[in-house]
Structure 1
């Protein structure tokens, strides 16, 4: 069974898109989900956290949000020790996922991605 205690951060200027992704993750059993609507909020949570060793297991980042801030989304994610894994969508690169996906397509992509970063364990999940 996958660890449903992943800390997930969604960064998107669209409240509708954040809500849609958050509802989808909740339906999959992931409840440790936070959302931000600006790049400044993203930087605050990932660079100036009160808990320097607390990190996000997964960042779902709108490429448009990073582009509007003039930031290379890939470089931001790779150079940030607070982010373990990242998925960039809706950006202006050939590597970003499209923004408008049907719920089932988005769910399938998220499930596949999460299964790679959080494979099912053979035993019980440990709680710390």
Structure 2
């Protein structure tokens, strides 16, 4: 059963993209989703919010080189996990707090894999192999 108290922030300039990602989370029973359309809104919510976000999903193009998103999220105490999509893939370096994907938009399978780390109480989603 999903943890319905998880706080998720989606950042993308395109309204349609934000809604599409939000619907993916809704399909998995996550409804505490805050969508933002620009970097200023994201910075305001992460800097002045009293409660940390469990997950931030952001389009790399939103920063447009103005901010190193990977390092920002690695060191930010108000963000527990981050997925940067539509960006150049970078080596993991053993750090699972920030994941970078070159996909133009995360799909349901990507969100499910991500939520398996963010919400560890979720049952395993994948192929079940029966051993007799």
Which interval holds the TM-score relative to the shorter structure? 0.7 to 0.9
**Ranges of 4+ aligned residues in structure 1 off by more than 4 Å:** none
Unaligned runs of 5+ in 2: 91-99, 124-132
Residue aligning to 1:126: none
Cα displacement (A) at 1:17: 0.6
1:94 is the counterpart of 2:89:
yes
| Distance change in 2, residues 1:39/1:121 (3 Å) | closer
Count of aligned residue pairs for this structure pair: 113
TM (norm. structure 2) is 0.78
The answer to which structure has the higher helix fraction is 1
Residue aligning to 1:47: 47
Alpha carbon RMSD of aligned pairs, Å? 1.8
Residue aligning to 2:97: none
Cα displacement (A) at 1:121: 6.7
Structure ranking higher on relative contact order (CA contacts 8 Å, 6+ apart): 1
TM (norm. structure 1) is 0.81
